[in-house]
Structure 1
Amino acid sequence: MFTGIVEELGQVKALSLRGNSGTLTVKAKKVLEGTKIGDSIAVNGVCLTVTNMKNNEFSADVMAETVRRSSLGALQDGSYVNLERAMAADGRFGGHIVSGHIDGTGQIESMRREENAVWVTIACADKILDLIVEKGSICIDGISLTVAAVTKRNFSVSVIPHTGEETTLLKKKAGDPVNLENDIVGKYIQKFVDIGRNSGADRGKMPDGENAAGNVKGNSGLSMEFLQKYGF
């Protein structure tokens, strides 16, 4: 698990793809402190497993699913990337819960300065936009950010100077892709709501014969009784 607080800007040394999978090698320093083979590092928000380390660089395998879901396949030698080690059990929770499992990519539509901040507006697929709420959290290229505004076709974040200096976001331009991960809490809530709406379907059945709404078969809706019974 990650928190979306970028620790370091790394630089791509090489991306070797055969088809839609291959190996990514990144130059880094801070995120390698205490890291060993098999540990996880988020690269632009994508959770990757370290498979090799040497001379201030690490390598990770990139599978086809990762290339399809994220913008990693578009990286070039020399590209800068946001890096974060997996959160330690005794670490501070500075951002929000980030799994490193990208939901899809968005495209920067505009960047507008307002005094000391920069508004970044991003367009994305409806399935991602539907789970974005104003003043909620969104992970953009591995950066935990607060959603400042949402419309039917895009959303915006307001980036402070520190975030702009410590990450890649403000180094991008309109038209560039970014990796997006919805707040996992919102995704689980949506899942339970969907189950409640389809309580008669097989996926909504519970072992004790109740449906997902916690009621007898045939009733629908997500009830408080169901949430309490299953630990919510």
Structure 2
Amino acid sequence: MFTGIIETLGKIHRLRKEGGNLHITVSSSITEELKIDQSVSHNGVCLTVVEKDTPYYTVTAIDETLQKTNLSELKEGQVVNLERAMVMGSRLDGHLVQGHVDQTAVCKKIIRNNGSWLFSFEYDPKHNNITIEKGSITVDGVSLTVVNSEKNAFSVAIIPYTYEHTRFKEYEIGSIVNLEFDVIGKYVARYLELQS
């Protein structure tokens, strides 16, 4: 489990395909503290550390993960949002995040306000995922509050700290992001679907 509060950015050092798998080697300020078999969220995707050689560590994304997320779009030199798994008993500053991406979305609009930014995203409605006004959403692993909730679109307001310390400063119109919808909302929606 994660909180959606990004700890740091990692830089993609090397990408290596092996069959349907993609081995992703990353350098980061937390590499020294990582251990083999530890879960780390990369742009909201929970991946396991399989190799470590400070300042680098490697994780592997399987084909299913590559199909459902933006990890197949990674390029060497690009940055990713990183978060280690939450520690039970400490504060939950974001919301409960599983690190299981539901689908991707496309950035459709970026509006710079006086000291903040409004990012709008659109996603494919065929998966029946929903947002609600003032509900939680995870965008590339970042826990955020939904504004302007629509059937297959929503916006999020980004403060300067989040903008500077996550991938948001690199997004442009057309950027593909990973979405994890609120887990409680998904259970309620599934329950109602089964009652129909």
Question: Which residue matches 1:18?
Answer: 18
Relative to structure 1, the CA distance from residue 96 to residue 31 in structure 2 (aligned partners, 3 Å threshold; closer, same or farther) is farther
Deviation at 1:130, TM superposition (A): 4.1
Deviation at 1:56, TM superposition (A): 1.8
The two structures have a TM-score, normalised by structure 1, of 0.81
The 5-angstrom pairing of residues 137-152 of structure 1 reads 137-152=136-151
The 5-angstrom pairing of residues 103-122 of structure 1 reads 103-122=102-121
Question: Which residue matches 1:157?
Answer: 156
- Contact 1:8/1:82 (<8 A) preserved: yes
- Contact 1:41/1:47 (<8 A) preserved: yes
Deviation at 1:18, TM superposition (A): 3.4
Deviation at 1:90, TM superposition (A): 2.5
Secondary structure at the counterpart of residue 173 of structure 2: coil
Deviation at 1:152, TM superposition (A): 3.2
Question: Which residue matches 2:7?
Answer: 7
Question: Which residue matches 1:30?
Answer: 30
Is 1:62–2:55 an aligned residue pair?
no
Q: Distance in 2 between matches of 1:28 and 1:170?
A: 18
1:153-188 deviation line (CA, Å, top 9, x unaligned): 421001010100110113110001000000011001
Q: Distance in 2 between matches of 1:184 and 1:67?
A: 21
Q: Distance in 2 between matches of 1:12 and 1:130?
A: 30
- Contact 1:128/1:182 (<8 A) preserved: no
Deviation at 1:128, TM superposition (A): 5.6
What is the letter of the counterpart of residue 86 of structure 1?
A: A
Is 1:189–2:157 an aligned residue pair?
no
The 5-angstrom pairing of residues 147-226 of structure 1 reads 147-197=146-196
Q: Distance in 1 between matches of 2:128 and 2:170?
A: 24
- Contact 1:148/1:156 (<8 A) preserved: yes
- Contact 2:41/2:99 (<8 A) preserved: yes
What is the letter of the counterpart of residue 22 of structure 1?
A: L
Q: Distance in 2 between matches of 1:127 and 1:115?
A: 36
State the aligned residue count. 196
The two structures have a TM-score, normalised by structure 2, of 0.95
Moved more, 151-160 or 42-51: 151-160
Relative to structure 1, the CA distance from residue 184 to residue 75 in structure 2 (aligned partners, 3 Å threshold; closer, same or farther) is same
- Contact 2:32/2:54 (<8 A) preserved: no
Secondary structure at the counterpart of residue 187 of structure 2: helix
Q: Bigger radius of gyration, 1 or 2?
A: 1
Q: Distance in 2 between matches of 1:26 and 1:139?
A: 22
Is 1:49–2:48 an aligned residue pair?
yes
Higher strand share: 2
Relative to structure 1, the CA distance from residue 16 to residue 47 in structure 2 (aligned partners, 3 Å threshold; closer, same or farther) is same
Deviation at 1:11, TM superposition (A): 0.2
- Contact 1:31/1:84 (<8 A) preserved: no
